[in-house]
Each structure stands twice: as structure tokens, then as C-alpha cells.
Chain A
Amino acid sequence: MNRKVSNTVPLYTQDLQIGYQSGKRHRTVLDRINLSMERGELVCLLGENGVGKSTLLKTISKIIKPLSGDVFINGKSISKLSNIEIAQNISLVLTERINTGMMTVYDLVSLGRYPYTNWSGKLSKEDWKKVDWAIDQANIAALSNLNAMELSDGQLQKVMIARALAQDGEIMILDEPTAFLDINNRLEIINLLKSLAKETNKAILISTHELDLALFSADKLWLATCCLPIVVGIPEDLVLKNALQETFDHDNFNFDLQTGRFAVKRAFHQTIGLEGPEPYFTWTKHALNRMGYAVVDNDETMNIKITKSGNDYEWKVNRLQDHLKFDSIESLLKGLNSVINK
């Protein structure tokens, strides 16, 4: 059991039960939660939408109260910490869209110093240094004089990460930090978080439902499944233990152990033989699968061979007596349709 955790662990939970309480009724979302985080570690809380990821993050950061059990930050129960003390230890990046009006990136980041400044919010030299440091760490120095509302989603997310860094807790929690971002920005944000965990030695917890990002970046996964205890481990162990398949159990998808991705389960209605050089082979197979053909090495009735002719490639189809040639996959698929419907 990880109950006997020493005080150096920045965050751990003890028999935590989370959910929502209204009056005397309460609804448990997740139960028996015993988790811990280490410094310098990027943890991905992975689970389907609605499983309770946000509820867990909110409970850890004392936005909502646990139904039972407790959360400990540096060995102290959060129920005994003031709002300011919590803020000095945990900083958040939320999913909600902000609208700060006319505020520069620099001012937005410096709001992160809130738990350290006096009543007027005036920054000390130390505070300025921390703000500069956070801006530097998040690589947004070039943006610092711009209005935060004029940034792209990806840039704004980096600014919000810088604000959380300026808040300077040992723990950083990000709720779906890659939602709404395109693939480049998603990778950039994840890489940024990964390097921040290493360089700043903070414990970074992110929730996501994007399996591929979590698999390729997290030091540790917390797998949340409805009504079951959270499964913890490094990504590779969990894959081999089939834990991912169970978490993301779905009728229409299969987890592919080779690629680490989920693939649509397909019902093939026909087999087809295929041979040829890469990458033409892979993408032809991809297209054939999509059209409902199962690809085999050699088929009795129909075979496709990809060969080079001059500078281009061509696809030769042999079906019983028919011999056809195509110059692209698109024409190949059209040809196959007409051949089969004949």
C-alpha cells in the first residue's frame, strides 16, 4: 500500500471518495482513490468523458469537498490549509475560456503572483523575477506585450501555463490542456509540460481523454474507469496488462497492441491478395480495409500487385480471367467496385 508515504511526497490521497453533495443526497463519482505524485513527474489522468476526471482534479485542488477520505499536500491535509496556502502549493490551468479584456500577456502572467502579494496586488522584485522566469520557461517572451485576447488558442494555453508557473506551487494541475488545439499545438503543449516537469521538478498532473498523447508523454498514467478503483502504472506496463483495453472498452473500437492506437473494428466482407513495396503497400491496405476488404498475402480469386513503371507506380488487378491496370488508389477502388458489381 502507498499509505506509508513520507512527507516528501508532494501530493497523495487517502481512501478518497469524490462526488457531488446536494443537501442530504450525494452522488459518488469515484471511490477508494489512493494515489500519489512525485516531483518531476508528468502524470496523465486518463479516462472517458464523464468518468469523473474533472471532479477528481477539483477535489485535489479543494474547489469541491471530498465525500470522504482526504488529500494531503506535503503531508498536510488540505482541509487544514487556507485558500492562500493551497494556492501557494497548487496552480491550475482550467478548460474554461477566459476573457480578460484589455490585458497584456505580461499582466496576465503576473496575476499568478496573487497568493504572494499584499492587499494592493503590487509585485515585489522577487515577484517580477518569478514572472520573468515563468514567461521564459513557457517560451512566450515574444508575446509578453500583446493583448492576451489576440492570441491563438495554442499561444493562450502557453500563457495560462506560464501564469500557473508564476504561481509557483510544487504541483501543477491542468484540466484537458490539449482540448480545442490542433495537432501541432497539442504536441507542443505536451512537450512543454514534459520538459517543465523535468526542469522545474514540479509534479504535473493533466487530465485527458487523448490516449495517444498520454501514452507517448506521461511518466505515469492514472486510468479512471467508471465505478472501479483508479489503475496506476507507467504506460507500457498498463498496455501489456491490457488495462487500457478495459478502460476504453468499446464495441466499435479495438486497441492495437502494435501501434498503441485504437482502431475501428471492421467487418470485412471479402478477402483480397496484395503485394508490393512500402509505403505503397501500407496505404493500399489502408484503403482496401476502409472499403471492407481483408488483405491477405495471396487470395484464390483476386490479387493486386503494385509495381513500378517508369517514374510512377501502377496497381495490377488479377481476378480470374480479368487483368486490369490502375494508376492511383482512387481509380483502383473505383475499378474494384465495377469489377465486383459486374
Chain B
Amino acid sequence: MTNQNKSQLFLLIGFPLILLVLFLANISIGSVKIPVWKVGEILLGMEGTKSSWINIIWQFRLPKAITATLAGAALSVSGLQMQTLFRNPLAGPFVLGITSGASLGVALLVMAGHMVGSVILYSGTFGHWLTIIAASIGSALVLVLVVIVSIRIKNSMTLLIVGLMFGSATSALVSILQFFSDKEQIQAYLIWTFGSLGGLSWKELNAFVPIAILGLIITLTSIKPLNALLLGENYAQSMGMKLKKTRFWLIFSTSLLAGGVTAFCGPIAFIGLAVPHLTRLLFNSSDHRLLVPAVIFVGAAIMLVCDMVAQLPGSEYVLPINAITSLVGAPVIIWIILRKRNIRNSFAG
């Protein structure tokens, strides 16, 4: 085993530990101050703490930490898949128009609420589920179109462009809807676009967790074709990889992962694009056998950190997660690029 392999192994063992620490730290932070040891006691199910604290931990912070972990992992993995599939460093989970489709669904829902003259449709528990369903239908529709196109098209670059076009068209529809909407509707829609990790209760997690895990399992079974794709589609096919089949599964799992996150948490930017690059540089590898698990850990860890920053520790405000992911992430990436100067080399494409 070479030195490089050793350090990779160390990182791969080290990251789950870091993740665990971040997970606990994430739960410990919030507008209500709860001592860390009390958090531990509550999580271990010990008696003797304030019931309001138990409630906060179990009904709010734990679901939110689980959501952040899964959302970070899901977005990062789908970003990695799209970058490898399209051999493009600027590809991310949303290049195929998933967010735009979801936005259109939510915008239509808000607009429908406007027409029946009520805001019930997008507020409260019922409204929350409606939003999730609308976003899912919107992104699913765009993805069905993309998949149909992908079956007919040989060239993945064409598919990328078609995906971008779908995205632009749906965004245009959203703009038109906004134009005809009231202030309240636009605000409701805008708040959805800020993204939120805290909106999921255990009920919603019951739907989100299986979707995300199924998506991750499909990716894990695609590791071998992903590695072959590093040589480009033609070489991959010459080694016996079935391009259309591989492409279908990659798009399918991306739609589960990125579509799921967007439906439940709103559009969360940056993570899916940046984490794969960050991970490649950290682990100094393009091998997906290492990258896929590593990206899961790094993505989850960064999302947990971003969520903690969004809590503005010590204050009662919670900032939009979408803004924090970019604010925290962008300088980190710039710093790494300037230090290593080889993101171009690190990227396969």
C-alpha cells in the first residue's frame, strides 16, 4: 500500500468520526440553550431533564440534523454523478432542470392558492405536504422528459444542453407566474427558494429517508461504470459498458436524490457543485470507489456545518440555508483552488 493509499484510508476512517462529532454539535446548537451533556442524556433516553428540552431535541433538532446529513450527502453524490457523466466540472445535481421543475410545481401551487383566494394551500402541515408533492411532480415531469430524450440521444453533451433548455423554459414559466402574482404569493414562493432543513418532522422523514437511501444505493452500484466513464463515453463503451443503461440509472438516482432534497428542503445551491471538487482535492483521487463514500461524508459534514452557521449560534434568527451554503462554501473552495492550483487537473473531464 502506498503512502497515498494510507492517507486516503485514514481520511475515510476519520471522516465518519468527524461526521459524528458534527452531528452531535449540530444537535447541541439552537436558539434554546441546552448543555451538551444534557443533549447526550436526552439522546440516550435518560430521564430527569426538562420535557421541553426533550421535545426540542427529539421533535425538532434530531430530525433537522438527519435531514441535513442526508441532504448534504444526496446533493453531493448527485453532483459527482453529473460531473462524471457529462465530463463537465460545472455540472451539478440541477443541470438537468430538476430545481426548475420543482420551482414550477411550487409556483403553480402558490398561484393556485392565489386563485382560490387563500393562503391555506401553502401554509401549515397540509400546505407543507402539498408543497412537497408539487415540487416532486414538477421535478419528476422535467426528469421524465430528460429521460425520454436520453433514450433517443447518443451524445451526453446534447442531453446536457437539452436539460439546460428545459430548465430555462420552466424558469421562464415561473417568471410569468410571478409577474401575475401578489406580494404575498411572491414572498411565499421566495421563502421556499431560500431552502429550509428544519421543515421536516418524523412523518416527512419517513418519506425522505427511504428516497435518499434508495438513490445512494443506486449510485453505489454504479461505481464501476462511473470509473469507466472517466475515460470518456467511447472508451467506456469499448470496455463493454452499456451507455444508455448506465445513463438511465445515473439520471434516475440523481432525480431521487436531488429531486427528493428539493421537494423536502427547497433548492439548496452550491453543495452539489462544490463538494465533489473539494473531495477530489482532499483525497487526491478520481477513483469512485473512494470518491462516492468520501463525497457522502464530506457533503454531509459540510451541510451540518452550514446548518449550524445558519442557526447564528446565540441568536434567535435562522438564516436561509441556501445563502449560507454559498457564503460558507465559496470562500473555502476559492482558498483551496488558490492553494492547490490544480482544480483543472483534479477534475476528470
Interface residues, chain A, CB within 8 Å of chain B? 61, 63, 82-88, 90-92, 94, 96, 98-103, 107-108, 111-112, 114-115, 117, 119-121, 145, 147, 149, 167
Contacts and interface: CB of A to CB of B under 8 A. Distances in A.
A96 B240 contact: no
Contacts of B348: 99-103
A63 B348 CA distance: 23
A173 B1 CA distance: 34
Nearest to B235: A94
B346 interface: yes
Contact of A119 (B221, B235, B237, B347): B221
A121 B223 contact: yes
Contacts of A100: 230-231, 286, 348
Interface in B85-138: 87
B242 interface: yes
Nearest to A118: B224
B285 interface: yes
Contacts of A96: 232, 234-235
Given A83-B242, A114-B241, A119-B221, A92 B230 contact: no
Contact of B235 (A88, A92, A147): A92
Contacts of B234: 63, 92, 94, 96
Given A101-B286, A102-B285, A121 B224 contact: yes
Instruction: Determine the interface band of chain B, counting residues with CB < 8 A from chain A.
Output: 20 to 34
A198 B241 CA distance: 30
Given A87-B239, A107-B287, A119-B224, 7 more contacts: A83-B237, A99-B349, A101-B349, A103-B287, A114-B224, A121-B224, A145-B2
8 contacts: A83-B237, A84-B240, A91-B239, A92-B234, A94-B232, A111-B230, A121-B227, A147-B345
A249 to B, nearest CB: 32
A252 B287 CA distance: 51
Given A100-B286, A102-B345, A112 B239 contact: yes
Contact of B289 (A83, A88, A121): A121
B240 A83 contact: yes
Q: 5 smallest A-B Cβ distances: which pairs? A: A101-B348, A87-B240, A101-B286, A121-B224, A114-B239
Contacts of A117: 224
A115 B211 CA distance: 31
Interface string B279-295: 01000111101000000
A61 B287 contact: no
B298 interface: no
B238 A102 contact: no
A305 to B, nearest CB: 60
B284 A102 contact: yes
Contact of A120 (B2, B224, B232, B237): B224
A167 B228 CA distance: 13
A279 to B, nearest CB: 47
B223 A120 contact: yes
B223 A88 contact: no
Contacts of A167: 239
A121 B241 CA distance: 12
A114 B242 CA distance: 12
Contacts of A92: 234-235, 238
Interface in B193-229: 221, 223-224, 227-228
Given A83-B242, A96-B234, A112-B239, A101 B224 contact: no
Contacts of A98: 230-232, 235
Contacts of A88: 240
B289 A101 contact: no
Contacts of B238: 61, 63, 87, 90-92, 94
Contacts of B346: 101-102
A208 B349 CA distance: 27
A294 to B, nearest CB: 50
A119 B228 CA distance: 12
Nearest to A82: B240
Interface in B1-39: 2
B345 A149 contact: yes
A98 to B, nearest CB: 5
B11 to A, nearest CB: 14
A115 B239 contact: yes
Nearest to A86: B240
A99 B237 CA distance: 16
A117 B224 CA distance: 9
Contacts of A90: 238
Interface string B141-178: 00000000000000000000000000000000000000
